[in-house]
């Protein structure tokens, strides 16, 4: 008895926790079964639902058929334009298209004039490019000639400048050596006076020392004379180099000014060419726009012409294939319209 009570106590929380899983699905199936029974027994409900679903399906199908009908009609219009265009190119005439032919003839004449003008403008643009290339080529060649003439002068100027630097270094070195030798002479003169006034030296020693000092002084004096004789020559060479360098610079500057003038001519030619080119390009674009406008004006005339020829079925070998395509489209349109009528 105690064991039974314990088992019931243990099972109590499971019952309080909610419905069993299998019971939930059992009740759901019962509810669905009741709904199905009600639906099967209620004829009016079934009819309303069927009508609702059928109406939605018919509307969707009708929309798709309307879109297909529109595509077929657009295809037919395109075939009419093709028929009119082919008849015009093959010079097919009929009383029903006489008005369209007169209008197309006028537009064709205007189109021909525009195309001739376009070719003239195009030829002018090409000629303008060739003229510009010749002019810029002439200027480039002239610049190259001037640069070839200036190059030796630039090299001469640099060579003279390098030689001038060497001469200046030599002049500076000679001047420094003269100053140094003069300082040494002064030092020898002081040494000679010191030796003469030195009472500790014998006459022989004093004479020997003075001779050595004199020999050094004579050598330094000779070096100073040689440098002083060389300095005017160096200065003269420096002046000659400066003169030659200035002449080379002046001559090179002449060629430089010519090159600068040619560069200015080239820039002016570029600007003038660009202005003229843009003007001709604008004319070309204007003519192209006119041609496009005329083509657009011809399209409805071709369509009207094709519609009339389709109605009259003017016999011509070049039109037979288009008639065949139009008939196929007509059959497709009729089939689609019949399907739409059945849905109404």
Query: Does residue 292 fall inside a structural domain?
Result: yes
Which two structure tokens, joined as six digits, stand for 158? 């640099």
H-type helices in the chain, by residue range?
2-16, 21-41, 43-89, 98-196, 203-312, 317-343
Q: In the prediction, which pLDDT does 44 show?
A: 61
Query: Does residue 317 fall inside a structural domain?
Result: no
Query: Does residue 68 fall inside a structural domain?
Result: no
Query: Does residue 41 fall inside a structural domain?
Result: no
Query: Does residue 121 fall inside a structural domain?
Result: yes
Query: Does residue 294 fall inside a structural domain?
Result: yes
> Which pLDDT tens digits describe the chain residue by residue (344 residues)?
334 333 444 444 444 455 677 777 877 887 877 776 766 666 665 565 555 545 567 778 778 888 998 999 999 999 999 999 999 888 888 888 889 889 999 999 999 999 999 999 999 999 999 999 999 999 999 999 999 988 888 888 888 888 888 888 887 887 887 788 778 878 877 777 777 676 666 667 767 777 787 777 778 777 777 777 777 888 888 888 888 888 888 888 898 899 999 999 999 999 999 999 999 999 999 999 999 999 999 999 999 999 998 888 888 888 889 989 999 999 999 998 888 888 76
Query: Does residue 257 fall inside a structural domain?
Result: yes
Q: What is the spatial distance between Cα 67 and Cα 52, in angstroms, rounded to a whole number?
A: 23
Query: Does residue 341 fall inside a structural domain?
Result: no
Q: Under the phi-then-psi rule, with left for phi > 0, alpha for psi from -120 to 50, and beta for the rest, what region is 313?
A: left
Query: How many C-beta neighbours within 10 Å does residue 101 have?
Result: 19
Q: What is the spatial distance between Cα 91 and Cα 150, in angstroms, rounded to a whole number?
A: 71
Contact 287, 114 (CB under 8 A): yes
Q: Which of 336, 340, 344 is nearest to 73 (CA)?
A: 336
Residue 285: which CATH number?
1.10.287.1490
Q: Which of 308, 306, 320, 322 is nearest to 88 (CA)?
A: 306
- The total number of structural domains in the chain stands at 1
Domain around 208: 117-300
Q: What is the spatial distance between Cα 204 and Cα 29, in angstroms, rounded to a whole number?
A: 154
Contact 210, 192 (CB under 8 A): yes
> What is the dihedral sign for C-alpha 111, 117, 119, 121?
negative
Q: Would you list the DSSP string of 87-125?
A: HHHTT---GGGHHHHHHHHHHHHHHHHHHHHHHHHHHHH
């Amino acid at each position: 008895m105690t064991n039974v009570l314990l088992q019931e106590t243990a099972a109590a929380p499971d019952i309080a926790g909610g419905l069993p899983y299998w019971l939930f699905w059992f009740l759901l199936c019962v509810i669905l079964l009741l709904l199905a029974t009600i639906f099967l027994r209620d004829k009016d409900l079934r009819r309303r639902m069927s009508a609702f679903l059928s109406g939605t399906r018919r509307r969707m199908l009708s929309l798709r058929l309307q879109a297909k009908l529109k595509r077929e009609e657009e295809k037919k219009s395109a075939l009419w334009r093709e028929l009119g265009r082919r008849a015009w190119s093959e010079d097919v005439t009929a009383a029903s298209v006489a008005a369209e032919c007169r209008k197309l003839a006028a537009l064709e004449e205007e189109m021909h004039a525009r195309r001739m003008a376009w070719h003239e403008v195009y030829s002018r643009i090409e000629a303008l490019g060739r003229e510009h290339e010749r002019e810029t080529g002439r200027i480039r060649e002239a610049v190259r000639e001037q640069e070839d003439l200036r190059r030796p002068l630039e090299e001469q100027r640099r060579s003279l400048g390098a030689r001038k630097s060497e001469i200046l270094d030599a002049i500076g070195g000679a001047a420094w050596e003269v100053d140094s030798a003069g300082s040494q002479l002064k030092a020898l003169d002081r040494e000679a006076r010191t030796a003469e006034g030195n009472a500790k030296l014998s006459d022989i020693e004093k004479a020997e020392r003075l001779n050595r000092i004199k020999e050094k002084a004579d050598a330094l004096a000779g070096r100073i004379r040689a440098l002083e004789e060389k300095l005017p020559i160096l200065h003269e060479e420096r002046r000659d180099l400066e003169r030659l360098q200035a002449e080379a610079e002046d001559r090179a500057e002449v060629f430089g000014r010519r090159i600068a003038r040619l560069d200015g001519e080239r820039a002016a030619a570029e600007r003038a060419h660009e202005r003229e080119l843009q003007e001709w390009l604008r004319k070309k674009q204007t003519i192209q726009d006119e041609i496009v406008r005329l083509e657009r004006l011809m399209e409805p005339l071709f369509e009207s012409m094709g519609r009339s020829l389709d109605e009259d079925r003017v016999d011509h070998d070049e039109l037979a294939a288009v008639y065949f395509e139009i008939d196929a489209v007509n059959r497709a349109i009729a089939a689609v319209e019949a399907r739409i009528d059945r849905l109404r």
